A and B are shown apart, each in its own frame.
Chain A
Amino acid sequence: MRIGVVTFPGTLDDQDAARAVTIAGGEPVALWHGDDDLKGVDAVVLPGGFSYGDYLRCGAISRFAPVMSSLIPAAEGGLPVLGICNGFQVLCESHLLPGALTRNDSLHFICRDQRLRIERTDTMWTGDFTDGQEIVVPLKNGEGCYVADERTLDEIEGEGRVIARYLEVNPNGSRRDIAGISNARGNVVGLMPHPEHAVEALTGPSVDGLGFFTSVLTSLVGTR
């Protein structure tokens, strides 16, 4: 399975996402922001970082990159897409996911090992987890506070589209402790913490993050 990893100017975690794909058993394919060719990949990861320096608004400029002009319709057509951190912000700016990510309530950038609860296992990116499974992955963001109006929050809760919630500490003030959400179809997932940094015992606080990458491979081969 070929998983595309997009590099925007200022993307930082693209190597990490590619490594995670490899460890999960997939083949990472580098996609360039300035090229609208998705190279026939089976899924796409929008990795973390500070694309365009977070200038204007996180993800606001990347959303107009040529690669997004292909990716947005492909995602609407069912292509699995995982946006991590800055990638989540890009997905919100692209209106593939509702809501927005704003400045942490502490006003500080925060890097910590974060406990999460997986709330949904019927998306393309979470199928290998068990319902309610608790995992620990790194969280690192300055603008990770998930916000949406109450009606939207009720709607995504009602549709079961909250895929992960912060446990023990809400590190950034996110509404309803939301760490990640999906679209209605379950192929597009945005996640503020960084599962790609928790794929090796040597460098991560756990290997819990691997589940997101194996999940998409599992769902793609249809063995689920």
Chain B
Amino acid sequence: MIDTVQHAIDDTDHPQPYAELGLKLDEYERIRAILGRRPTSSELAMYSVMWSEHCSYKSSKVHLRQFGEKAPKTDALLVGIGENAGVVDIGDGWAVTFKVESHNHPSYVEPYQGAATGVGGIVRDIISMGARPLAVMDPLRFGPLDAPDTKRVLPGIVAGVGGYGNCLGLPNIGGEVVFDDTYLGNPLVNALCVGSMRHEDIHLASAKGVGNLVVLYGARTGGDGIGGVSVLASETFDADGPAKRPSVQVGDPFMEKLLIEATLEVLHAGLVEGIQDLGGAGISCATSELASNGEGGMHVWLDRVLLRDETLSPEEILMSESQERMCAIVTPENLDAFLQMCRKWDVEAVVIGEVNDSGRLTVDWHGERIVDVPPRTVAHEGPVYERPYHRPSWQDALQADTPDSLPRPADGEQLRATLLNMVGAPNLASKSWVTSQYDRYVLGNTVLAQPEDSGMVRVDEETGRGIAISTDCNGRFAKLDPYAGAQLALAESYRNVVAGGAIPLAVTNCLNFGSPEDPEVMWQFAEATRGLADGCLQLGIPVTGGNVSFYNQTGDTAILPTPVVGVLGVIDDVDRRTPMAWGPDGELIYLLGDSRDEFAGSEWAHHVHGHLGGLPPQVDLERERLLGEILVAGSRDGMLTAAHDVSDGGVAQTLVEMALKSGVGARCWVPDGVEPFVFLFGESAGRAVVVVPRSEELRFTEMCAARQLPAHRIGVVDSGLGADAGYDAGEQVLQFSDQFTVTLAELRQAHEATLPAVLQT
């Protein structure tokens, strides 16, 4: 029997399963107060999904406000936080929109489909702003590489990311693959998409114009993903819980490709007044948000929704998270043209509702009223929690447990062994087993892609204007000090963008944390958010949007706090990009910045000693900004052949990656006053290695001196070192004077063997 509004009025004490739908008692009572009666079962379904943590940001909202309050003044932001994705002006009339979202829990339950639909969802966010998607990136985190469950989860997730993105025709240009014990049982799958449009093509999600029609188009609505939002994203996995597989959605990238083309065609033809993608919370979310952002009223005939399964109940239709669906607001005059363009792309479309000024969202099912609510209370006025938080009881002890007493390699031979061990560590090893499953070439505009510092794509083929993006986070630093850790993530991402020669413009984030109901986790979140907001203000780049993922824990064990930060930069002409591979013999290798004895949270402490403690590397955002200005100037004025950020694994890792990418050896030395081990493996922030042709050396070093950026000459590219070092004459080697020599072949073997050895079956 259908639970109508009239029925809810008549039978007001009917018991309802609010708890099973993830609502707390006080939340349920608030719904009753808003409506002045009990909700119908359809209304309860809508509120439960829209008030879930995933959709309502109820635990994070009070902290996220800082991103707006502390936003630096900038003219670059065309659309700010709150829309599907922020929009940034990159010049010449071009705008770019980008966003990253999590799909962590679905990807653990069903790795392939969880990851695939994560890509699909973020791509729809970008097209619903009116942008053509340009590229995707995927920051991924897993348990230990050799853990049995990693072998189940990782190949499926990678295949899902690739299977969906490749079939959609979007180049995958970067991301991360990180391993840590705390992600075992709770892998992180974050998905980023970036798109571009002309300024005049920006579209927003609002239902304006009384009498305009609500058109649902794309895939049919089915039973997949029902309750996915509330059940999957907002509850901690319980070891003894029932299998949750049916809650994960199933993706169809072919349909998404058609949806992209059809959507861009109707947008460019001017046939759309407002548009919204359907993701988490499906039709409930789209209709309530569109109505809430527009005239405030909407009526929906829910029985008109095209179904894959005719037996679905209205509650299920409202909650279904079937993929590849969009909702557009279209004037009656434009409807025929809209439907015709959909037909051209074999996309089904149907009018399911109408915009009105009633101030209510009403839904009928075969002539009976089943929903009658103020849409703002569903979409925007959900509960807001001031969750209690406090500094963890163990934080002081963790910070006091410094890595200073860990045994360090003492001579050249031990340094050499440490280097070969480190370059093969799962976190530092080549990720090509993963990235070779992604198409990085499609669309023909990819200028830089992994393993480069940032992904860079050309936006305008005439002028060469382009953008660069990087995502980063060292969760170990964030665990040691969440405030500094978030700023270090920002600093690294910023540095990766400037290393390619692009000027940073804006920030997105994906804040992955444990349960907000744990005050110690909530403290990590509050500190990281505060650190990131302060850091963005200092660097002068605003946060344009982002995503929060809570409840990333299994039982009592939370993941490392993982505030993934994405920085977007612009470059006038991608021809001037700085790659990471160095050039021919004789070019000079410089280290920019200061090297300190900083090993807390480092990859060396983690991989060699399994140690995590102390205070993370010092953060100096002014230094990061100065380094950025030098790297951008070096790119613009043609002073640099190559540049590469120094981060995980230290200068040693940076030099090895540059050498392997170019295939040419180098002679390097340790600058005066620095201990060789600290120089090679320390992880001080604010540093980059650059390669300068001899003809540019004076100009470059004078620029650094004038701007007071420390620049140390640490080596020279040299392909002829083999014979002197006791190898064949042609053998390429990396030589550290007075310390050790290692061949690129040995380094490559160590660097590239790790992932295939475990994952190749």
By the criterion CB–CB under 8 Å, are B441 and A111 in contact? yes
Say yes or no for A50: interface residue by CB 8 A criterion. Answer: yes
B46 to chain A: closest CB distance in Å? 32
Say yes or no for B143: interface residue by CB 8 A criterion. Answer: no
The count of chain B contact residues (Cβ–Cβ below 8 Å) is 32
Report how far A70 CA is from B324 CA in the complex, Å: 33
B466 to chain A: closest CB distance in Å? 10
By the criterion CB–CB under 8 Å, are B436 and A15 in contact? no
By the criterion CB–CB under 8 Å, are B447 and A16 in contact? no
Task: Please tell me which one of the listed residues B159, B167, B345 contacts residue A50 in the complex, with CB atoms under 8 A apart.
Answer: B167
Specify which chain A residues have a CB less than 8 angstroms from the CB of B458 in the assembled complex.
202-203
Given contacts A12-B442, A50-B254, A203-B458, contact A111 B447 (CB under 8 A): no
Report how far A52 CA is from B345 CA in the complex, Å: 11
Task: Please tell me which one of the listed residues A49, A109, A111, A194 contacts residue B169 in the complex, with CB atoms under 8 A apart.
Answer: A49
Say yes or no for A117: interface residue by CB 8 A criterion. Answer: no
Given contacts A53-B254, A111-B441, A203-B446, contact A9 B346 (CB under 8 A): yes
Specify which chain B residues have a CB less than 8 angstroms from the CB of A15 in the assembled complex.
443-444
Report how far A15 CA is from B171 CA in the complex, Å: 14
By the criterion CB–CB under 8 Å, are A16 and B442 in contact? yes
Say yes or no for B252: interface residue by CB 8 A criterion. Answer: yes
A200 to chain B: closest CB distance in Å? 8
Specify which chain B residues have a CB less than 8 angstroms from the CB of A184 in the assembled complex.
none
Task: Please tell me which one of the listed residues A111, A197, A203 contacts residue B436 in the complex, with CB atoms under 8 A apart.
Answer: A111
B275 to chain A: closest CB distance in Å? 21
By the criterion CB–CB under 8 Å, are B444 and A196 in contact? yes
Say yes or no for A26: interface residue by CB 8 A criterion. Answer: no
By the criterion CB–CB under 8 Å, are B254 and A52 in contact? yes
**Chain A, range 9-53, C-beta contacts under 8 Å to B:** 9-10, 12-13, 15-16, 19, 49-50, 52-53
Given contacts A53-B253, A202-B575, contact A111 B159 (CB under 8 A): no
A152 to chain B: closest CB distance in Å? 30
Given contacts A111-B436, A202-B458, A202-B574, contact A142 B441 (CB under 8 A): no
Specify which chain A residues have a CB less than 8 angstroms from the CB of B447 in the assembled complex.
202-203
By the criterion CB–CB under 8 Å, are A197 and B252 in contact? no
Specify which chain B residues have a CB less than 8 angstroms from the CB of A16 in the assembled complex.
441-444
Specify which chain A residues have a CB less than 8 angstroms from the CB of B445 in the assembled complex.
203
Report how far A11 CA is from B549 CA in the complex, Å: 35
Report how far A112 CA is from B436 CA in the complex, Å: 6
Q: Which residue of A lies closest to B440 (CB)?
A: A111
Specify which chain B residues have a CB less than 8 angstroms from the CB of A10 in the assembled complex.
167, 254, 257-258
The count of chain A contact residues (Cβ–Cβ below 8 Å) is 29
**Chain B, range 115-174, C-beta contacts under 8 Å to A:** 159, 162-163, 166-169
Say yes or no for B217: interface residue by CB 8 A criterion. Answer: no
Interface mask (B491-520 → A, CB under 8 Å = 1, otherwise 0): 000000000000000000000000000000
Say yes or no for B597: interface residue by CB 8 A criterion. Answer: no
Report how far A55 CA is from B167 CA in the complex, Å: 11
Specify which chain B residues have a CB less than 8 angstroms from the CB of A109 in the assembled complex.
159, 162-163, 166, 437-439
Specify which chain B residues have a CB less than 8 angstroms from the CB of A54 in the assembled complex.
167, 254
Task: Please tell me which one of the listed residues A55, A111, A142, A200 contacts residue B254 in the complex, with CB atoms under 8 A apart.
Answer: A55
By the criterion CB–CB under 8 Å, are A194 and B252 in contact? no
Given contacts A53-B254, A203-B458, contact A138 B441 (CB under 8 A): yes
Interface centre among A9, A15, A16, A55 (most CB of B within 10 A): A9
By the criterion CB–CB under 8 Å, are B439 and A140 in contact? yes
B451 to chain A: closest CB distance in Å? 14
Report how far A4 CA is from B168 CA in the complex, Å: 22
Specify which chain B residues have a CB less than 8 angstroms from the CB of A197 in the assembled complex.
441-442, 444
Specify which chain B residues have a CB less than 8 angstroms from the CB of A200 in the assembled complex.
444
Interface centre among A111, A197, A202 (most CB of B within 10 A): A111
Q: Which residue of A lies closest to B441 (CB)?
A: A197
Q: How many A-B residue pairs have CB under 8 A?
A: 84
Say yes or no for A95: interface residue by CB 8 A criterion. Answer: no
Specify which chain A residues have a CB less than 8 angstroms from the CB of B444 in the assembled complex.
13, 15-16, 19, 196-197, 199-200, 203
Specify which chain B residues have a CB less than 8 angstroms from the CB of A19 in the assembled complex.
444, 461
Say yes or no for A108: interface residue by CB 8 A criterion. Answer: yes
Q: Which residue of A lies closest to B166 (CB)?
A: A109
Specify which chain B residues have a CB less than 8 angstroms from the CB of A148 in the assembled complex.
none
Report how far A34 CA is from B614 CA in the complex, Å: 65
B397 to chain A: closest CB distance in Å? 45
Specify which chain B residues have a CB less than 8 angstroms from the CB of A108 in the assembled complex.
159, 436-437
Given contacts A53-B252, A197-B444, contact A12 B436 (CB under 8 A): no
Report how far A196 CA is from B443 CA in the complex, Å: 10
Interface centre among B159, B255, B437, B442 (most CB of A within 10 A): B442
Report how far A131 CA is from B510 CA in the complex, Å: 53
Say yes or no for A110: interface residue by CB 8 A criterion. Answer: yes
A68 to chain B: closest CB distance in Å? 17
Q: Which residue of B lies closest to A139 (CB)?
A: B441
Interface mask (B163-204 → A, CB under 8 Å = 1, otherwise 0): 100111100000000000000000000000000000000000
Report how far A16 CA is from B439 CA in the complex, Å: 14
A213 to chain B: closest CB distance in Å? 13
Q: Which residue of B lies closest to A200 (CB)?
A: B444
Specify which chain B residues have a CB less than 8 angstroms from the CB of A194 in the assembled complex.
441
Interface mask (A191-224 → B, CB under 8 Å = 1, otherwise 0): 0001011011011100000000000000000000
B88 to chain A: closest CB distance in Å? 23
Interface mask (B246-258 → A, CB under 8 Å = 1, otherwise 0): 0000001111011
Q: Which residue of B lies closest to A51 (CB)?
A: B254
By the criterion CB–CB under 8 Å, are B254 and A9 in contact? yes
Report how far A200 CA is from B464 CA in the complex, Å: 13
Report how far A196 CA is from B447 CA in the complex, Å: 15
Given contacts A203-B446, A203-B447, contact A53 B167 (CB under 8 A): yes
**Chain B, range 319-352, C-beta contacts under 8 Å to A:** 345-346
Q: Which residue of B lies closest to A49 (CB)?
A: B169
B220 to chain A: closest CB distance in Å? 16
Specify which chain B residues have a CB less than 8 angstroms from the CB of A9 in the assembled complex.
254, 257-258, 345-346
B542 to chain A: closest CB distance in Å? 30
Task: Please tell me which one of the listed residues B257, B346, B437, B574 contacts residue A110 in the complex, with CB atoms under 8 A apart.
Answer: B437
Specify which chain B residues have a CB less than 8 angstroms from the CB of A112 in the assembled complex.
436
Report how far A199 CA is from B445 CA in the complex, Å: 11
Report how far A13 CA is from B169 CA in the complex, Å: 8
Interface mask (B447-481 → A, CB under 8 Å = 1, otherwise 0): 10000000000100100000000000000000000
By the criterion CB–CB under 8 Å, are A12 and B441 in contact? no
Report how far A202 CA is from B169 CA in the complex, Å: 20
Specify which chain A residues have a CB less than 8 angstroms from the CB of B254 in the assembled complex.
9-10, 50, 52-55
**Chain A, range 160-185, C-beta contacts under 8 Å to B:** none
Specify which chain A residues have a CB less than 8 angstroms from the CB of B435 in the assembled complex.
111
Report how far A140 CA is from B255 CA in the complex, Å: 21
Interface mask (B595-620 → A, CB under 8 Å = 1, otherwise 0): 00000000000000000000000000
Specify which chain A residues have a CB less than 8 angstroms from the CB of B461 in the assembled complex.
19
B34 to chain A: closest CB distance in Å? 44
Q: Which residue of A lies closest to B433 (CB)?
A: A108
By the criterion CB–CB under 8 Å, are A12 and B169 in contact? yes
Specify which chain A residues have a CB less than 8 angstroms from the CB of B162 in the assembled complex.
109
Specify which chain B residues have a CB less than 8 angstroms from the CB of A50 in the assembled complex.
166-167, 169, 253-254, 257
Report how far A38 CA is from B574 CA in the complex, Å: 36
Q: Which residue of B lies closest to A198 (CB)?
A: B441
Report how far A197 CA is from B169 CA in the complex, Å: 13
- Write 29 A-B pairs (CB below 8 A) sorted by A numbering: A10-B257, A12-B168, A12-B169, A12-B257, A15-B443, A16-B442, A16-B444, A19-B444, A49-B169, A50-B166, A53-B254, A53-B255, A54-B167, A55-B254, A109-B159, A109-B438, A110-B437, A111-B436, A111-B437, A140-B441, A142-B166, A196-B444, A197-B444, A199-B444, A200-B444, A202-B447, A202-B458, A202-B575, A204-B441
A13-B442, A203-B445 are known; give 4 further A-B pairs, CB within 8 A. Answer: A10-B254, A12-B442, A108-B159, A111-B440
* 7 closest Cβ pairs, A-B complex: A53-B254, A12-B169, A16-B444, A197-B441, A50-B167, A138-B441, A140-B439
Where the two chains meet, the residues of B that have a C-beta atom closer than 8 Å to any C-beta of A are 159, 162-163, 166-169, 252-255, 257-258, 345-346, 435-447, 458, 461, 574-575
